[in-house]
Each structure stands twice: as C-alpha cells, then as structure tokens.
C-alpha cells in the first residue's frame, strides 16, 4: 500500500518537474576563477577560417600557355601575401585566447596594476 502511494505521488509530480525543466536555464556564468574567453575563441575561429581561403583562379581558366601564366602570377602572388597576413592574424588571435585562459602565461602582458609606493 505504501509503495502504491509513493508511485502515485511521484507520477503526479512528474509533469510539474518536466515543466520546470523546460524553462530557460539561467545564463551559464563562468566557473569561479575562469574568465569568459568566448570572444577570443570566436576571433580565433574566424582567423583560422580566413586563413584557409583559396585563391579564385577561374578567371584564367579559359586562357592557354604564357597568357595563362601571366594571368595566374599576380593572383597567386596576392594569395601568398594574404596567406602570410592570415597566419599572423591566427597567431595573434591564438595568443589572445591563450592569454585570456591563462594570464600568467609567458608572453602575456600583465594586468594593469598600480605601482607599489614605498
């Protein structure tokens, strides 16, 4: 008899529990002591995506021989310059993300602290 009563109470409370769980949970606050680095992560992901872009060589597809080579050369040179710039941007974004996660890491600028006066 006691078991049946407990099952009925649990069954009655089940819809209430699921309705409470369906509400929007509060915004997840970063764990104590861990900074929110989502902006740095997004910037890093965008930089990596931008660094993987390939040059569009379709404008030179209909040409032949030396004419095609002359057409491709400036496009490829520009792509090399862009790749170097993109790699530098990826490195910069990765460093910013790493410094956000661990501010004491080598190469990270220390937080602005007022100088100690004796």
**Residue 62, domain member (yes or no):** yes
Residue 105 is predicted with a pLDDT of 82
Structure tokens at 98: 């790493």
Domain count, the chain: 1
- Please report, to the nearest 10 degrees, the dihedral formed by the alpha carbons of residues 88, 103, 41, 77 taken in order: 0
Residue 87 is predicted with a pLDDT of 92
Residue 72 is predicted with a pLDDT of 92
Distance CA 117, CA 42 (A): 40
Distance CA 44, CA 87 (A): 11
Can you give the residue range of the structural domain that contains 82?
55-101
**Residue 50, domain member (yes or no):** no
**Residue 75, domain member (yes or no):** yes
**pLDDT tens by residue, the chain, 118 residues:** 777 756 766 666 666 555 555 554 444 444 556 778 888 889 889 999 988 888 888 888 898 999 999 999 999 999 999 999 999 999 999 998 888 888 888 888 765 444 555 5
Residue 8 is predicted with a pLDDT of 64
**Residue 36, domain member (yes or no):** no
Distance CA 99, CA 14 (A): 46
Judge residue 3's burial from the number of C-beta atoms within 10 Å of its C-beta, 0-12 exposed, 13-18 middle, 19 or more buried.
Answer: exposed
**Residue 31, domain member (yes or no):** no
**Residue 67, domain member (yes or no):** yes
Residues ≥6 apart with Cβ < 8 Å to 86: 47, 50, 51, 53
**Residue 30, domain member (yes or no):** no
**83 contacts 76 by C-beta, under 8 angstroms:** no
Residue 82 is predicted with a pLDDT of 92
**What pTM was estimated for this model as a whole?**
0.55
**Residue 11, domain member (yes or no):** no
């Amino acid at each position: 008899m006691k078991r049946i009563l407990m099952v009925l109470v649990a069954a009655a409370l089940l819809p209430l529990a699921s309705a409470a769980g369906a509400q929007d949970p509060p915004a997840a606050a970063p764990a104590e002591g861990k900074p929110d680095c989502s902006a740095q992560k997004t910037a890093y992901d965008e930089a990596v995506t931008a660094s993987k872009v390939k040059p569009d060589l379709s404008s030179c597809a209909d040409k032949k021989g030396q004419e095609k080579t002359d057409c491709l050369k400036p496009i490829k040179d520009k792509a090399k310059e862009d790749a170097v710039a993109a790699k530098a941007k990826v490195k910069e974004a990765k460093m910013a993300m790493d410094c956000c996660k661990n501010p004491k890491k080598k190469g990270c600028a220390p937080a602005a602290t007022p100088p100690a006066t004796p």
